[in-house]
Homo-oligomer: A and B are copies of this chain.
Amino acid sequence: MKKQRAGIQGELGAFSQEAARQLLGNQAQVIPFQRFDQVFGALRAGKIDVAVIPMENTLAGSVHENYDHLLNFDVRIAAETNVRIVHNLIAPPGVRFKDIRKVYSHPVALNQCLRFFARHPKMERVSFYDTAGAVKMVMEERNSDAAAIASRVAASIYGAKILRRSIEDDRHNFTRFFLLYRRKDAPRRTTHARQWKTSLVFTTRNVPGALFRALSALALRDVNLTKIESRPLRGKPWEYLFYVDFLGREDDPRVEKALGHLAEVADFLRVLGSYPRGR
């Protein structure tokens, strides 16, 4: 059987690789890209079969760029998973903790270790495009004063050493990932999941109470919202797209009625997928 090709953003060892393992097991071939739009582009072009994409973090919030891509590339959500984020201070073998002056990582990771940096004011934070990529880079450069912040797996892949474990400020640190297919290739839904979620995006006319009326389509049928997110509408300053997640499956009769009602009051509506709720 041909291995499924799964695109991720970031070098091997990024948290996206752990998400791909949770979603697809060890059978998928993980293919790294530098930017998110490149992953979505490769999916559209058929160069990969699926994409594993971070959507929100419990501390940093949504990855807004990816919400925009969900709409602009014609994808469908097939699954979600949550990855616990543990940040480690990682350096090439031989580098001593007390010599470290520069610490490279993704800005979100650097911002999640503020207490560590407050305790070690000699260490300068340097933004890098990716956590695992920062480990790869410090291993290549081999400066005696440079370290990276990344996952345990990244340290192991690149043969680097963990100098301090779990330096993140807050242990309630999870990132939610989606498994995405091209819309036409999305697999049929199985019926094994206990609970389902549906994600959709809509716009409303810019009139008083428009969002309230849109949400009433769900609330009047006891459909439970789990997230609402607004994004600016291009070309229409101060108007917004709304991304909504709720509990329930697209083909549940109650949800079907809610979606029909929502379609009446929305200017634009697209269902992005129904998928089993992550743990």
- How many copies the complex holds: the figure is 2
How far does the alpha carbon of A238 sit from the alpha carbon of B208 in the complex, in Å?
29
Stretch among A45-53, A142-150, A226-234 lining the B interface: A226-234
Q: Is the CB of A230 within 8 A of B227?
A: yes
Partner of A240, one of B223, B227, B230, B237: B227
**Binary B-proximity of A126-159 (CB < 8 A = 1, otherwise 0):** 0100000000000000000000000000000000
Please name all residues of chain B whose beta carbon is closer than 8 Å to the beta carbon of A56 when the two chains form the complex: 232
Q: Is the CB of B61 within 8 A of A235?
A: no
| Closest Cβ neighbor of A226 among chain B residues | B238
Q: Is the CB of B230 within 8 A of A59?
A: no
* Number of residues on chain A facing chain B (CB within 8 A): 38
Shortest C-beta distance, A229 to chain B (Å), equals: 6
User: At the interface, yes or no: A219 with Cβ under 8 Å from chain B?
Assistant: yes
Stretch among A14-22, A23-31, A210-218, A257-265 lining the B interface: A210-218
User: At the interface, yes or no: A222 with Cβ under 8 Å from chain B?
Assistant: yes
User: At the interface, yes or no: A256 with Cβ under 8 Å from chain B?
Assistant: no
User: At the interface, yes or no: A203 with Cβ under 8 Å from chain B?
Assistant: no
User: At the interface, yes or no: A224 with Cβ under 8 Å from chain B?
Assistant: yes
Please name all residues of chain B whose beta carbon is closer than 8 Å to the beta carbon of A172 when the two chains form the complex: 234-237
| Closest Cβ neighbor of A236 among chain B residues | B172
